[in-house]
Amino acid sequence: MQLEVGSILEGKVSGITSFGVFVDLPENKTGMVHISEVAQTYVKEIKDFVQMGQTVRVKVLSITPEGKISLSMKQAVEPKPRQAQDQRRHGCGAEQVDSFEFKPRQSGDMSFEDMMNKFKKSSDEKMGDLKKVIDTRRGSQNRRANQGR
């Protein structure tokens, strides 16, 4: 089988590093899957997704003139159906989006004005805290400047 950009093939994991996975391909070639191309979700530890000697499906992303082969595991799998997005558009309850769970907040019996007042109060508190931090930092800079005189 000829290696071509866009082709999907199987290979064996021959090396795992902190930045990616090396995969042995047909024709005695080796390619690398960057950590960002291992899975659809955030990958902190590659060893949580692959093991040495494991057979994986990969898609060839690019082949450099020097012969370096860039691979993707996440692009080699079929995309999930768009059902979750369709449900969200139609106002269904909480659903799973990728690996993060979305749960709309329940406003309960609060009127719009009550929600706005709550938001304003929270915002004012945060702005007050931020202003204190900024003023404290400015104060320490002014003291240093005055000491030098």
105-128 pLDDT, tens digit each? 555 677 888 888 888 988 898 898
In tens, the pLDDT along 70-87 reads 999 999 887 666 555 555
> What distance in Å separates the CA atoms of residue 61 and residue 69, rounded to the nearest whole number?
8
Q: Which of 5, 39, 34, 8 is nearest to 22 (CA)?
A: 34
pTM assigned to the model: 0.52
Cα 75 to Cα 8: distance, rounded to the nearest angstrom: 9
Residue that the structure tokens 């000491």 belong to: 147
Q: Output 57 or 95, whichever has higher pLDDT.
A: 57
CB distance 36 to 71 below 8 Å: no
pLDDT value for 87: 53
By C-alpha distance, which of 72, 66, 65, 78 is closest to 21?
72
